Chains A and B, each alone.
Chain A
Amino acid sequence: MITKTLINEYINKIPPTPKVLKETIALLDAGELTKAAKIAQEDLALARYLKELVNKPIYGFTNEVHDVSQIFAILGVSSSQQTVYNYMTTLLSPSKWVLFKLNARVFHELQAKLSKRWEQILDHLNIEDKNISNSITLLPASIIISEALFCKKIDDVNLLRSTKNLDYNTILTRLCGIGLFDICEQISVKWEMPQEIAQIIQASSGLKPSDDEKINSLGKWMHLLLFYELSQPIFIEVGLNDFVDFQVEYVGDIYEEFATLMEIS
Chain B
Amino acid sequence: MKPIVKNGIGVFYPQGFLDGNSCNSFLSMDDLAATSSLKVDMILVSLKKVVFFNKNGLNSFIKLFVKVRQTNHATVGFCDYDTKKYNAIMVFYKDDMNFSLFKTLDIAYLFSSSFKNQSKNILLYSEDKSQRTAMAIELHDNGHNPVITLTQEEFREKASKEDAYDEIIDATFLGQMGQKIATRVTGNAIIYSISSFLDAEIGNKFNIEYHNNSLNVGFRLFIFDAYKVISMNVHALNFFSRLSTSAAEYNATICFVGMTFEKTPEVFKENLEDSGIMFFEQMDDILQDKDLLKELGASSASNVKSKRIINKKTVTELPRFIDATVATIEMMTNSKAVKQSAKVQNISIDDKTDRIASSIGYYGDMDGMVILVFPKQIAKKACELLIGEETDDIEMILDTLAELVNIVGGKIKTLLSDERISVDITLPRTYQDVDGLLEVIENKKGVQVDLSFDNDKFLFFLTR
Interface residues of A (CB under 8 A from B): 1-3, 153, 155-156, 159-166, 170-171, 174-176, 224, 227-228, 230-234, 236-237, 241-242, 245-246, 248, 251, 255, 259, 264
Contact = CB atoms under 8 A, between A and B. Distances in A.
Interface stretch (B87-95, B190-198, B346-354, B380-388): B380-388
B384 A174 contact: yes
Contacts of A230: 15-16
A241 B15 contact: yes
B interface, over-half SS: mixed
Contacts of B443: none
Nearest to A252: B51
Interface residues of B, number: 38
B17 A231 contact: yes
Smallest CB-CB A-B distances: 5 pairs: A231-B16, A227-B16, A233-B25, A231-B17, A236-B25
Given A2-B334, A245-B15, 18 more contacts: A163-B6, A163-B386, A163-B407, A163-B410, A164-B4, A164-B403, A165-B4, A170-B388, A174-B384, A175-B385, A236-B1, A236-B22, A236-B25, A246-B16, A246-B51, A255-B51, A264-B19, A264-B52
B15 A231 contact: yes
A159 B388 contact: no
Nearest to B50: A248
Interface of B: 1-2, 4-6, 11, 13-19, 21-22, 24-26, 28, 48-52, 327, 330-331, 334, 384-386, 388, 403, 406-407, 410-411, 414
A245 B51 CA distance: 13
Nearest to A160: B407
A interface, over-half SS: helix
B52 A242 contact: no
Nearest to A238: B25
29 contacts: A3-B334, A156-B327, A159-B410, A160-B331, A162-B2, A162-B4, A163-B403, A165-B13, A166-B385, A166-B386, A174-B384, A174-B388, A175-B334, A176-B334, A227-B51, A230-B15, A230-B16, A231-B15, A231-B17, A233-B25, A236-B22, A237-B28, A241-B14, A241-B16, A242-B13, A242-B15, A246-B49, A248-B49, A248-B51
Contact of A1 (B5, B330, B384): B330
Contacts of B25: 233-234, 236-237
A1 B18 CA distance: 33
